[in-house]
Amino acid sequence: MTQDVRIAELADWAGEVVRVRGWLYNFRSSGQIAFLLVRDGSGLVQVVASESDVTEKEWEEIETLTQESSIILEGTVREDERSPGGYEMHLRDIEVVQRADDYPLALKEHGPEFLLDNRHLWLRSPRQVAIMRLRDRLMAELESFLRDDGFIRVDTPILTPNACEGTSTLFETEYFGEEAFLTQSGQLYSEATCAAFGEVYCFSPAFRAEKSKTRRHLIEFWMLEPEMAYYDHEDNLHLQERMMESVMARVLDACADELEELGRNLEPLERVKAPFPRITYDEALKILDEADIPIEWGEDFGAPHETEIARQFDRPVFVEKFPGECKAFYMEPDPDRPEVVLAADLLAPEGYGEIIGGSQRIDDYDLLRRKIHEFGLPEEEFSWYLDLRRYGSVPHSGFGLGIERTLAWIAGLDHVRETIPFPRLLNRLRP
Ligand code: 4AD
Ligand code: MG
């Protein structure tokens, strides 16, 4: 039996006859020689077929082969610098598993809506494969960093009866006759688990019924949320810096090929070194004033504001100490200035904006209870959360990193829609 080999591993098989099982990506022929560009998910290889090496029937099949037909190829591996992976195959035998006629994503330009309608097929393109490989690596490196740091992953529920991040973006559903919501964030539950384990993170989809149609909003996205007992605001920011620096270095190292496929300028990513610059919300307001896009004290930033603030720095920048009124109910007020909270957003450069939002949490029972009322939230639903402040309450902090926004930045993409296999957008639930 001939050995089945993945394209990425062809280098180990130079001179030998192997089988590759994949799909036809592109084809060109010049007389008695045909060049098949074949993909198998691990890479691309050029397969050279000559009329003299195959049967007449096979040659006819090769000459009329269509894009995305599934094929099994047997041939000799040869080093060749013109082939995408540095190796090509000389065809000996071909089996067409299924002939694909009229593949909708012919190799030419397509509009974004058409591509999204065909997302199930678009995912096969080399560019999308590179993005998904980066995504996989980013997630793995984030988890591995936290694990190495002593964190454990504790999962949090998707179906919840409460609102973590404001009541305006809740996705409602029905839970056997009761009202329930899809989670906006696992944070409240992670606050419970961090009292059990010290340092935890949850990693799950989050849902926001946001009526925003921007290049950074998804309805369903993935969020990684560490939560740490006995961490104050400072400790929180230090962890974020260390994590970003380390994960960025590991991703750059592991995904050089993918970043090259995407044509990413690596320079801004190589500058992701701690410490990150830090400004207060009030300082950010001055920057915005000078840039002629002023906002009122108490308002949250929009995309153009974040872009302008981040533009002033050569690496990610923390904006800290936001007015409590524009943030969530659970954030610890600054003891020196109670109208601002010990929260920080990490803004990525190059126009990407907020990728992390975090804060120190209120640990005092009475204050938290008061905030729950001030924010118009039902105290009954938060009684378990208040318990955490009654039984061994400690200062604690945490943050949430949005995978898709972080990935859009690392990959240098215009829109988060390409960062998740099947994006859920304001106008899109399919495929
Ligand atoms: O700032 P957010 O809303 O913070 C929280 O949910 C906290 N509970 C996190 C925590 O402290 N544990 O969201 C955190 C991050 C944002 O910085 C952004 O990267 C991402 O989640 N995010 C979104 N990504 C894509 N589409 C959306 N609609 C997003 N909303 C937030
Ligand atoms: Mg935020």
- The yes-or-no verdict on residue 59 having pLDDT over 90 is yes
Task: Give the C-alpha separation, 166 to 253, whole Å.
Answer: 39
CB 210 within 8 A of CB 167: no
Least Cα distance to 360 among 329, 392, 401, 330 occurs for: 330
Mean pLDDT of 368-393: 97
Enter the tokens of residue 26: 């592109």
Q: Is the dihedral of CA 163, 166, 172, 178 positive or negative?
A: positive
pLDDT at residue 418, as a whole number: 98
- The yes-or-no verdict on residue 341 having pLDDT over 90 is yes
Report which ligand 1 atom has the smallest distance to the Cα of 355.
Answer: 19
Both 298 and 348 in a single domain?
yes
List 73's β-bridge partners, or say none.
20, 94
pLDDT at residue 84, as a whole number: 84
User: In this structure, what CATH number is given to the domain that contains residue 275?
Assistant: 3.30.930.10
Enter the tokens of residue 11: 């280098």
Task: Give the C-alpha separation, 202 to 189, whole Å.
Answer: 9
Q: How far is CA 372 from the centre of its chain?
A: 32
Residue 430 within any structural domain of the chain: no
pLDDT tens sequence across 153-167: 999 999 999 888 988
pLDDT tens sequence across 222-257: 999 999 999 999 999 999 999 999 999 999 999 999
pLDDT tens sequence across 91-139: 999 999 999 999 999 999 999 999 999 999 999 999 999 999 999 999 9
Residue 323 within any structural domain of the chain: yes
Give me the sheet containing 159-160, strands edge to edge: 159-160, 178-182, 171-175
Enter the tokens of residue 313: 């720095």
Measured from the alpha carbon of residue 228, the closest ligand is 1
Enter the tokens of residue 365: 């029972």
Mean pLDDT of 167-184: 95
pLDDT at residue 193, as a whole number: 98
Both 73 and 130 in a single domain?
no
Instruction: State whether the beta carbon of 400 lies less than 6 angstroms from ligand 1.
Output: yes
- Buried-exposed string 89-98: b where 16+ CB fall within 10 A, e elsewhere: bebbebebee
Residue 134 within any structural domain of the chain: yes
Task: Give the C-alpha separation, 83 to 24, whole Å.
Answer: 15
pLDDT at residue 82, as a whole number: 84
- The yes-or-no verdict on residue 400 having pLDDT over 90 is yes
Measured from the alpha carbon of residue 225, the closest ligand is 1
pLDDT at residue 167, as a whole number: 87
Least Cα distance to 245 among 130, 141, 321 occurs for: 141
Instruction: State whether the beta carbon of 187 lies less than 6 angstroms from ligand 1.
Output: yes
Q: Is 11 left (phi over 0), alpha (psi -120 to 50) or beta?
A: alpha
pLDDT bracket for residue 85 (50, 70, 90): confident
Both 39 and 131 in a single domain?
no
Q: Is 41 left (phi over 0), alpha (psi -120 to 50) or beta?
A: left
pLDDT tens sequence across 190-203: 999 999 999 999 99
pLDDT at residue 163, as a whole number: 87
- What is the domain extent for residue 24? 3-98
Which residues are within 8 A (CB) of 240 and not within 5 positions of it... i.e. 6 or more apart? 318, 344, 346, 356, 358, 399
Mean pLDDT of 399-411: 98
pLDDT tens sequence across 12-52: 999 999 999 999 999 999 889 999 999 999 999 999 999 99
Instruction: State whether the beta carbon of 354 lies less than 6 angstroms from ligand 1.
Output: yes
Least Cα distance to 262 among 136, 128, 353, 355 occurs for: 128
Total domains, the chain: 2
Residue 107 within any structural domain of the chain: no
Both 84 and 189 in a single domain?
no
Tell if the pTM clears 0.95, that is, is over it: yes
pLDDT bracket for residue 173 (50, 70, 90): very high
Residue 241 within any structural domain of the chain: yes
C-alpha 318 to ligand 1 mean position (Å): 15
List for the chain the helix, strand, coil content (%; round to 5): 35, 30, 35
pLDDT bracket for residue 385 (50, 70, 90): very high
**Residue 340: burial class (beta carbons within 10 Å; 0-12, 13-18, 19+):** buried
Q: What is the DSSP letter of 409?
A: H
C-alpha 78 to ligand 2 mean position (Å): 52
Instruction: State whether the beta carbon of 224 lies less than 6 angstroms from ligand 1.
Output: no
Both 18 and 153 in a single domain?
no
H or E element, residue 140: helix 126-148
Mean pLDDT score across all residues of the chain: 97
Both 124 and 85 in a single domain?
no
Instruction: State whether the beta carbon of 75 lies less than 6 angstroms from ligand 1.
Output: no
pLDDT at residue 146, as a whole number: 99
Instruction: State whether the beta carbon of 405 lies less than 6 angstroms from ligand 1.
Output: yes
Task: At 319, give phi and psi (nearest 5°).
Answer: -110, 125
Report which ligand 1 atom has the smallest distance to the Cα of 403.
Answer: 19
Both 156 and 264 in a single domain?
yes
Q: Whose CA is nearest to atom 23 of ligand 1?
A: 402
